[in-house]
Every structure is written in C-alpha cells, then in structure tokens.
Structure 1
C-alpha cells in the first residue's frame, strides 16, 4: 500500500506532481525522508492502511491518494537468444525502472559480446546477472557489491562484470560458444528500512571496501584470517546502533534447488509441485520462493514466498523438517499453464543483499477442451546440395572456412508442447557440430510444431557409414517417450565426379604418352633407314 500527496498548481504556474509519502509492506511502514518527521502509515498492506499526520499545518493542504500495487519484477524484455532484462524487486522501493541493451544479439562462436544495464531512477548497490538457457532454469552468474565482483562456479572466467558508472553496469562474454546461447537477466537490489546497512568489507591481503556513507569516519582493520575490527572516528548520536560482524564464504558453492517433473492436467484438478534443497543445504538459512514464467523469454512473475500467508488457489506448504517447500494449485485453469520455478533466497546478515538460486523449473499444461494428447511425428531432412562454405568468413579472414552441412529436424502435429530435442551421431556419439533449436514450439491450429538444426562438417556428412539421428522426447502425461528419425551420410558426388574426370585424364595422358613414344621410335627407325640407304648410293 502506498500514500501520495498532490498539491495544486502554484500562482507562479508551477505544476505540482504527486509525491510519494511512503509505503506499507505488510505491517512495516517505509517513509520518504521529507515526510519522516510528522507522517506515519499504519495498518496492513493486505487489508487497509491509514495515513496519520501529526501537528497539521497549512503546508499540509493537499489531496492525498492511497494506492495498492503488487510488484515483484519490472522487466525490459528481449525475446532473442542472448539478451533479457530483469529487476529483482522483492522488498524494495516501488516505481523502479531498469533498462538493458542491446535488445537483440546475434553472434557467431569465437566472438565477444557486451550487455549493459542502467538504473533510471534508483541507485541500488547490489547488482546481479542471471542466465536462463533455452528450456532451462534461471542461474545466478555473478553479483557486484560496491563495484567488487563475485562469480558463481562456472562463470569465474570469461564472463567479467564491471560497474561502469554509479547506475550503469555491464556483462561481457569474451569467447562466445554454443553453451552461451541463452536469455540473460540483469537485476538490482537494495535494502529497505529496518534491515541492516552494510558498512564495508575486507578480504585478506587487500584494502577494505566501504559504502559511500561510511567511507570517511569508519575504518575496518584485519589482523589475520580470523580477526579484525571496526573503528568509528568522531562518534555522533546518529552512530547509535547495534553493530554486527559477519564472515562470508566466497568459495563459489552453488545452492542446489530440486523440483518435481512436468505435469499435464485437465481443468479443475489440483496439482502439487515439489521443491527441496539439495544435500548440505538447509531451509533455515534460506527464504524459499515460487515464481512462474508463461514461456521462455516471458516475464517472470512472483507467486509466493516462505513465511507469507497464502491466499486464493495458490498455497505454499513449507516443511522445514523435510527441507521442502511444495506449491499447491487448486482448481487449475487454462491460464495456469506455465513453467513454475522454485528459488532459494539467501539473505546476508551483513548486508541485506539477496541472491536467488533457481531450480530447473516444472512445466504445467492444463489441457484445452477438445484437444487430446498427441505424440509428434518426426522427419529429418538431408542438407541442401548447394550448401557450401561461408564466403563472408573467407573475405573477412582470407581463409576458407570449413564447409558445413545443415541437417534439419521437424517435429509437428503434437499436443501439448512438452518436448525436448537432442541429436546423436552413430547412436550415441555426441555431435561435434552446432545444434540450434527453436526456443518454443509454435502453435499450428490444434497442434504444435518445432524444428532443430544440426550443423556438421562436410567430412562428417560425406561418410556413408555415419548415421545422424534426431530424438524428440515428448511427455504424454504419464512418462517421457522418444520419437526419432535419422538420415545417413552420403558419398561426395562432386568429389566422385572429380575423381572420375581426373582418372580419365590420367588414362588419356598415359595413352598419349605411349603413342608418342611409339611414334618417336617409328620416326627414329625411319631416319636411320634413310641414312643407311643414302650411304649405299654414294658408295
């Protein structure tokens, strides 16, 4: 719940806009600095909220507006393979805007890309980058605190993050590979009133880093790995507080969030999604949350979190003893069809910063009326004989790029869209070529269709013994089944033709040489005979 103040235009023509007085999150008020002294908000954000003004004076003459908003994410969306923008906004100020660019990136392997983010009207100090591979969950890559980066395992090399300016930060991918094809999310977080403020931190054998408001009078000392201290110079009444010292393990250990498998249901039924933390992790150290995403690349919506009272059809059922956090949806509707993500949110007591670790996601499809579950038909198409080497690469580098052949797999006439596509060469050998699969299946009437492309070298394709198989895994309510099709490599007809021509040329050349030898011998013998006859006539 929010309260705003709107004053009429002044005599000088100054058009006043509404000013935010403060907000109420559950029973916790948060007031803008200008209104802290005499204004207060009471009540509960899920019921009603009252604005109380003490010692009213003439300057308080205005119109007052109450507003309610449910905002967890505000995003700048990109639907392509590489870019996506997210604002992490759980328990933060409202009316926040964040911008990410470029919107679309298409890049070949071996190149580098840079994605940038900017906070338009905030200056949140905790900055994050997340990655969502096609058909996968949302993974934390890195975070920036006071300009200092911290990387998750697997992203500590080749993915530098930099705070370019106060509100501006970026992610670079130095050597783009096939595994980097994904949706990328940037996020910003801040602590709210009532949470502890980060003063600063230090690493062994390095200078301390301070938050801006503490850099002048506060000093952190570090004697060894286990001991340190905080010194406050020129103490003032505003320094009255409880001070906490904390240690953080930056070993890069990634939280494991396990989720149950996909679900396909008829409308009106009840479904339960299981979620639990992996071995070695306890819910007592994390806040569990549930989100949903309509389709890959769409907005990520917040549903509920641990310790929050569930209302309506969505009910979280935390079980701390069992280290699980299931989500129940009753009376499912068609628009409940989404991928549901469970996340573990670790709140650091030393800073209030909060990174979220997501599970792989559970896909739910609520069946439409008159639509039956139908497995896909799969067809693999051979490469075009006209496909050849990349002429642009040849002009750019001066070298002829290895010739590639593209094998296309099409799966169609299936419902619902619970499919995964993989490729094999020779029944198990993983493909060395590049696989490119549509991010989502496209609707075609009552059914779906999806395609995937496998690029292999010409040497691989022009081997009749090689077998290229496209495997489409389809979930048919009870289990995953595989439907596949394959093609085999072929003889290089162009090369075969060339070899025949060269062989014919060699034979012809050999015959000509032999004939020439015979002709030369004949001419030599004739000349010798003529010379012998001429000698006899002279005698």
Structure 2
C-alpha cells in the first residue's frame, strides 16, 4: 500500500461585516437579489497581492474554490468553468460575474488575496462576503421584512485544509484551549480526490465570535487523525490571534475611533462651509431687498410733501 505524507494548513478568514481587520479587503455589494446576472467586486486597499481568489459557500455547506487569478489569468475549478467570469480590472481590484443566475447559485461569495498560493505559511485575507439571493417576487418582500430584524454579530472563520494523503481514512476535529469543540464546526462529509496530484484532501472550518478570536489567551487547533492501513497518525496545527496576523483589540478600537473623529470633522467642515456661503449670499442680497422694501414709503413722502 502506497502511503503519502499528510499536509495540514490553516487559513485565517477575516469574515466580518463591512471590514476585514487583518489586511483591509473591501468587497461590494453586500447583498445581491437577482434572477438574471450578478456582479461583485473586491479591492485590496494597502497591498498588491498577486494571488486573487473567489470562493462560495452554500447555505449550511462547505466553502468551495471557484477560481483564482494570477498574472491576470483566470484558473477555474472544474465545476465552475461555465457561468462564471473572473477578471482583474485593476492592479488592486478584481471581480466575479455570475451569468444566468439559477437557484443553485444562491450562496455567499467571498473574495480573498494572498501573497503566495494557499496552503503556504502565508495567510489569505478575505472580504466581508456578498450574499446572492435568487427569489421570486412574493418571497422577496418576505425576506426584506425578516432582514430588518437581524442582529449583526461580528465573526471570524478559521479554515483547515488537510491535503496530500492516501487512502482517504481521515477524521478532523477542532480544539479550543485543548478542549474539543463542535459548535461552529463544519467539515467536508468525505475527503475529495485531487486529479492532478492523485491524492486526497479535506477541508474543515470553525466559525466563532470576533471577541473570542481577539482574546490572546485563546488558542485554536485543527487536529487530523490519519489511518495508513496499519497505524493511526495524528497531526495538529495551532493558531492564535497575534499581532503579526491581526491587530490587538485596543488597536482596532483606536483606529475605529480615529475614523469616527475624522468623519465628524468632515461633517463639521461641511456645515461651516454651508454657513459661510449663506452669510455671503445674505450680504449680497440683503441691501437690494432693503432698498426694495423702503422705496415705496420714501416715494409716498415725496409725493405728499
């Protein structure tokens, strides 16, 4: 029996409403409701990473790679070679178009950027996600009413990819500070066959609240048990929130406060400019209006005199 080494890597997904707080990846729009086509975009604000990705996550399902862009060339996964078009419109911007939207295309679409290919030691940074909804007219109004009652919770997602093994006898589980956890865990139902490498791979993800991730005392590990036909081999990959991959909560608070202060300053400047314009206009129009109001009474006095 031919056995292969098992590679385990963890990719940190910054999946937060509006802003990714590791490397800033802006993704828009947040929601798309369409029955024809859908177009979404991503922009890397402070980086120029060459490896650009598009993923999708079906409701309650796993994250699937759709395509990756490198040097302007799109490399599609076998299941996405038709109906999807990815392109790099700018050095920092890339887009994905889903043509002829069908019910099976309803999912959350995620963009990502990385300095190197996935499963290296460099993290991949994700946008906030675009939710594509395919609905009829009656369902549309119902969904809008329900969305008004939703409470936004900031979350992080950790993705564990175990690859390069044969046969496919593996189990994956997560631990938080050494304790097994199941809440927020979603693992592929079975390992998948890579036609290129002729080996198997499996993906598992862990979703947790952002405040849990930002606690430096919390440690998370993806653990893989591989049965080679004779023995069980254990592999583990540890990850925690450090400043090298994400800023501290205090730093994030400072930056958010700075953004708020800057916005208030801009608003005050606009109000001040409007006030100045109003005063200038008042000074220009005021004398003419005053003369127009007083002239009749002066004329009356002259006539009676």
Q: Which structure ranks higher in relative contact order (CA pairs < 8 Å, sequence separation ≥ 6)?
A: 2
Instruction: Determine if the TM-score, normalized by the shorter chain, exceeds 0.5.
Output: no
TM range (shorter): 0.3 to 0.5
TM-score, with length taken from structure 1: 0.25
TM-score, with length taken from structure 2: 0.42
